[in-house]
Chains A and B, each alone.
Chain A
């Protein structure tokens, strides 16, 4: 049973435009949601997170939106840059410091 789902395996966006990556989850006990970015031959690196008491968190070009009633979150990247091309993983955990559960990832390609 996949608790964190990223239904789009890939996304292609033009440089300067907005990238929107989506994530759905099934476990209503999840309290923290994180986005990780992964380049080839490297481990995932933390990008941005949001706790369930918020509906939006912004950090520079990156904004994460959380819709708890829909069990849905999204990552917006504005403006997109070629260096943003990577695989993006959505992850979630409960408040009990349980291990992170990851989605399958979305490969973002930003075209110059």
Chain B
């Protein structure tokens, strides 16, 4: 297993366009998290899944954002009608259930630039 994979690594899009990001977690991890990081800030929680169930969504996740995890495997994060304020690094992480003190394994992120 090569860890958490995110695709694409970089995305430049025009304001108003839709974008979709993919995350492939570590195969035996049943929890998957999406975070967003902007310049000078730490990662901010967006949403997380346990298997295919989306268990929690942050108030940061406006109705333009939607996330799915079909069959409890990979996950997608879609942003509709992108705005310049959506420009950020989008991080995906996974963990086993009962993560204890070991935290999450993060992917390298997808950097979104909205022009």
Contacts and interface: CB of A to CB of B under 8 A. Distances in A.
Interface of A: 4, 6, 9, 32, 34, 36, 41-46, 49-51, 89, 91, 97-105
A103 B93 contact: no
Interface bracket on B: 20 to 34
Given A32-B101, A42-B109, A89-B42, 6 more contacts: A43-B93, A43-B106, A43-B109, A46-B103, A89-B43, A105-B42
Interface of B: 4, 31, 33, 35, 40-45, 48, 56, 91, 93, 97-109
B44 A51 contact: no
Given A102-B44, A104-B40, A105-B42, A36 B103 contact: yes
B109 A49 contact: no
Given A99-B33, A99-B48, A43 B108 contact: yes
B42 A49 contact: no
